[in-house]
Amino acid sequence: MTHDFVVVGAGVSGLTSALLLAQHGHSVALVEKSGQTAPLLRGFSRRGVHFDTGFHYTGGIGKGEPLDVFFRYLGLSDRLSLLPFGARGFDTIRNVRDGFEFRFPSGYGPLRQNLLQAFPSERSAVETYLDAVRSACDSVPYLNLDASLDARGGLSRVFGPTLKETLDSLTADKILKSVLSTHCLLYGVAPEEVAFQQHACIVGSYYLSANGIAGGGRSLATAFDARLEELGVETHRGCEVTSLSVAPEGALRGVRLADGRELRCGGAVVTVHPRTMLEMVPEGAFRPAYKTRIMGLEETVSAFMLYSVSDIPLPIFSGRNLFVLPSADSLRDLGNRTLEESPLYLTAAYARPGDLPRGFIGIFPMLPETTRAWEDSRKGNRPGSYGQFKEEITRRMENLIKRYCPELAGATSLAETSTPLTVRDFGNSPSGGLYGVKHKVGQYNPVPLTRVKGLYLAGQAVTSPGVLGAVLSGFMACGNILGHDRLIKELKRCR
Amino acid sequence: MTNLEIIGRIDRSIAEEFEIDMEEMKPEKTLFQDLGLDSLDIVDLVIVLETAFGFKIREEEGIRKIRTLGDIHSFVIQKKDELESIPR
Helix (H) or strand (E) run with residue A69 in it: helix A66-73
Q: How far is B61 from chain A (nearest CA, A)?
A: 12
Q: What does the pLDDT read at residue B64?
A: 81
Chain B CB contacts of A450 under 8 Å are: 40
Whether pLDDT at A153 is above 70: no
Same domain for A287 and A344?
Answer: no
In 3-state terms, what secondary structure has residue A71? helix
- Contact state of B44 with A155 under an 8 Å Cβ cutoff: no
Say whether B47 and A288 touch across the interface (CB within 8 A): no
Report yes or no: A447 at the B interface, CB cutoff 8 Å.
yes
Q: Which of A293, A295, A452 to mutate to test the interface with B (most CBs of B within 10 A)?
A: A293
In a domain, A475, yes or no: yes
| A159–chain B nearest CA distance, Å | 5
Do A154 and B58 touch, CB atoms closer than 8 A?
no
Give the Cα separation of B63 and A23 in Å (integer): 40
Residues of B with CB under 8 A from a CB of A: 16-19, 38, 40-41, 43-48, 56, 58-60
CATH code, domain with B63: 1.10.1200.10
Choose among B72, B68, B40, B46: nearest CA to B59. B46
Q: Note whether A289 contacts B: Cβ–Cβ < 8 A.
A: yes
Q: State mean pLDDT over A236-246.
A: 97
Task: Looking at the complex, report in whole angstroms how far the Cα of residue B28 sits from the nearest Cα belonging to chain A.
Answer: 22
Q: Rg of chain A's alpha carbons, rounded to an integer?
A: 22
Q: Which has the closest alpha carbon to A67: A140, A120, A142, A163? A: A142
Give chain A's mean pLDDT: 95
Number of compact structural domains in chain A: 3
Q: Could you report the per-residue pLDDT of A243-265, keeping only the tens digit for each?
A: 999 998 899 999 999 999 999 99
Q: Are residues A261 and A368 in the same domain?
A: no
Task: Give yes or no for residue A303 having a pLDDT over 70.
Answer: yes
Provide the 3-class DSSP secondary structure of residue A213.
Answer: strand
A98, part of any domain: no
Which range marks the domain in which residue B18 is found?
3-85
Q: Which amino acid is at B29?
A: K
Comparing CA positions, the residue from A120, A186, A99 lying closest to residue A468 is: A186
Same domain (yes/no): A460, A364 = no
Inter-chain contact B60–A155, Cβ cutoff 8 Å? yes
Of A159, A288, A449, the CB nearest to B40: A449
Residue A347 and residue A399 in one domain:
yes
Grade residue A150 by pLDDT with cuts at 50, 70 and 90: confident
pLDDT at A158 (0 to 100): 87
Residues in chain B closer than 8 A to A442 (CB atoms): 56
At A255, which CATH number? Answer: 3.50.50.60
The answer to whether residue A101 is domain-embedded is no
pLDDT the model gives residue A163: 98
Q: In this structure, are A187 and A272 located in the same domain?
A: no
Residues shown for chain A: 495
- Quick check: B44 and A293 CB within 8 A? yes
A274 upstream amide cis, omega within 30 of 0: no
Q: How far apart are CA A302 and CA A297, in angstroms?
A: 15
What's the number of CA atoms in the CB half-sphere (13 Å) around residue A399?
Answer: 8
Cα A32 from Cα A50, distance rounded (Å): 23
CA distance B38 to chain A (A): 9
Residues A14 and A135 in one domain: no
Largest interatomic CA distance in chain B: 41
3-state secondary structure string across A141-204: ECCECCCCCCCCCCCHHHHCCEHHHHHHHHCCCHHHHHHHHHHHHHCCCCCCCCEHHHHHHHHH
Measured between beta carbons, which residues in chain A are less than 8 angstroms from residue B47?
Answer: 289, 292-293, 444
Q: Which domain holds residue A113?
A: 82-90+106-213
- Which of A372, A67, A49 has its CA nearest to residue A208? A67
On whether both A386 and A468 belong to a single domain, the answer is: no
B57-65: list long-range contacts, CB under 8 Å, 24+ apart. Answer: B58/A159, B58/A160, B59/A159, B60/A154, B60/A155
- Write phi, then psi, for A281 (nearest 5 degrees): -90, 150
Lowest mean pLDDT among A40-54, A140-154, A387-401, B65-79: A140-154
Nearest residue to A26 via CA among A387, A435, A454: A454
Q: Judge: B48–A442 Cβ closer than 8 Å, yes or no.
A: no
Domain ends where: A213, A241, A273?
Answer: A213
- Whether A249 and A209 map to the same domain: the answer is no
Instruction: Indicate the number of domains in chain B.
Output: 1
- Taking an 8 Å cut-off on Cβ atoms, the answer to whether A289 and B58 are in contact is no
Interface membership of A451 toward B (CB under 8 Å)? yes
Q: Are residues A209 and A225 in the same domain?
A: no
What are the CA-CA distances from residue A160 to residues A253, A381, A397 (Å)?
39, 44, 35
ipTM over 0.85: yes
Report helix, strand or coil for B70. helix
- Inter-chain contact B47–A289, Cβ cutoff 8 Å? yes
With a cut of 70, say whether residue A203 has pLDDT above it.
Answer: yes
Which SS3 state, helix, strand or coil, does residue B80 take? Answer: helix
What is the pTM assigned to this prediction?
0.95
Cross-chain Cβ contact A442/B56 below 8 Å: yes
pLDDT score of A380 = 83
A425-482 pLDDT, tens per residue? 888 888 899 999 999 999 999 999 999 999 999 999 999 999 999 999 999 999 999 9
Kind of pairing, strands A91-95 and A321-325?
A: parallel
**Distance of alpha carbon A464 from its chain centroid, rounded?**
7
Pairing label, strands A321-325, A44-46: unpaired
Give the mutation candidate from A287, A440, A457 for the B interface (greatest B CB count, under 10 A). A287
Q: Do B47 and A449 touch (CB under 8 A)?
A: no
Q: Do A256 and A353 belong to one domain?
A: no
* pLDDT > 70? residue A152: no
